[in-house]
Structure 1
Amino acid sequence: MPITLYIVRHAKAEDRAMFMADHDRQLTPDGIIAAARMGRYLHQKGIQPDSIISSTAPRAKDTAKVVAEQLGYDLAQIRLDEKLFDGGPKAYLAAINALPASTQSAMIVGHNPDVSYLAEFLTHQNIGSMSKGAVIAVTFDNLNWAEVSGRTGSMEFQIGPKQLPHND
């Protein structure tokens, strides 16, 4: 049975202020709305991840929470991983490889360029730069999470907030 990974780039965040650490940037109101719309879209597609992992940065963590709320996911179960902020694609792969074998689908929420590089590494597709709030679904056949690596996944879909239907 295939396992599925949903790679999510955090939604639109405030610009970096002169005295603000990059880590501490917050979602904008538009970012919150886009994350909610994306979560609702995923819910309508019947997507219900067993596990959600997020960067500790507020813009990623809050994107994860808003999407999780729309999916009916228990917010207390979101796992925060500080290595996903500035840890590079290897940190994302380590978090994925550590998922329990019982997990059928997982969502990882983080930052560019790492999430775009991760999607390209896993699928060997030219993804380009994921837009803010975008989701890429990758499936892996006959693998467990510890075996997930380069070129082992197939991209099922890629969608950003601007591509969502407006009748939600």
Structure 2
Amino acid sequence: MKEIILVRHGKSSWEYDVLDRERPLKQRGSTDAALVAKEFCKKNSAPLNVFSSPAKRALDTCKIFTTIFNREVDQITIEEELYDFDGRNVIDFIKRLRNDVAQVMIFGHNHALTSISNIFGNQYIDNLPTSGLVKICVDIEDWNALKKGTTELIIIPKDLR
């Protein structure tokens, strides 16, 4: 059994004239990420394998989760291919994971994470909102055999406010 936990970055700020990769979180993005991380911890153990897009908003969201999980920030692995908006690179990344990794948490972007949630989960999600989290369990031993699984958990920030 393999578990994929997908987290869309928190709400980002458009008030700065910066490249897309450098866009920071808004205060609401930080607050929502912390709400979702705390809720996740109530029902699940913190994953050991945490990967993030290099984009500032995704990495900062990941750091909020990591802090709430009482983990060191240096345990985050930054992966260039997670800076993806259609999902193909993220799917390829997942399929290349080592098979001794049973659970993975990925911080990334829409529409990639919404698409992946719908391709591999069994609950349709119209749009994974910022700071939204989806946990999918897949009955496989080899990541390369990735197939449709079961959506075990969806956490949406507005449901926690």
TM-score under structure 1 length normalisation? 0.88
Matched, 1:157 2:153: yes
| 1:57-136 pair list within 5 angstroms | 57-86=55-84, 88-123=86-121, 125-136=123-134
Check the 8 A contact 2:5/2:105 in 1, yes or no.
yes
Aligned-partner SS, 1:112: coil
CA RMSD, 1 decimal: 1.7
Q: What CA distance in whole angstroms lies between the structure 2 residues aligned with 1:125 and 1:163?
A: 17
Check the 8 A contact 1:9/1:130 in 2, yes or no.
yes
Q: Report the equivalent of 2:37.
A: 39
Unaligned runs of 5+ in 1: none
For 2:110, give the aligned amino acid: N
Query: How far off is 1:144 after superposition?
Result: 2.3
Query: How far off is 1:68 after superposition?
Result: 1.3
Check the 8 A contact 2:85/2:109 in 1, yes or no.
no
Unaligned runs of 5+ in 2: none
**Sequence identity (%):** 26
Query: How far off is 1:42 after superposition?
Result: 1.2
Matched, 1:141 2:128: no
Offset from partner CA, 1:114-148 (integer Å, 9 cap, x none): 11011111125421110110000000113322211
Query: How far off is 1:16 after superposition?
Result: 6.0
TM-score under structure 2 length normalisation? 0.91
Check the 8 A contact 2:84/2:90 in 1, yes or no.
no
Q: What CA distance in whole angstroms lies between the structure 1 residues aligned with 2:93 and 2:84?
A: 14
Aligned-partner SS, 2:87: helix
List, as ranges, runs of 4+ consecutive aligned residues in structure 1 with deviation greater than 6 Å.
none
Number of matched pairs: 161
Offset from partner CA, 1:56-114 (integer Å, 9 cap, x none): 00000010110111112332121111122236311111221122212121101101111
Q: Report the equivalent of 2:28.
A: 30
Identify if the C-alpha distance between structure 1 residues 6 and 86 changes in structure 2 by more than 3 Å, giving closer, same or farther.
closer
Check the 8 A contact 1:16/1:22 in 2, yes or no.
no
Check the 8 A contact 1:11/1:27 in 2, yes or no.
yes
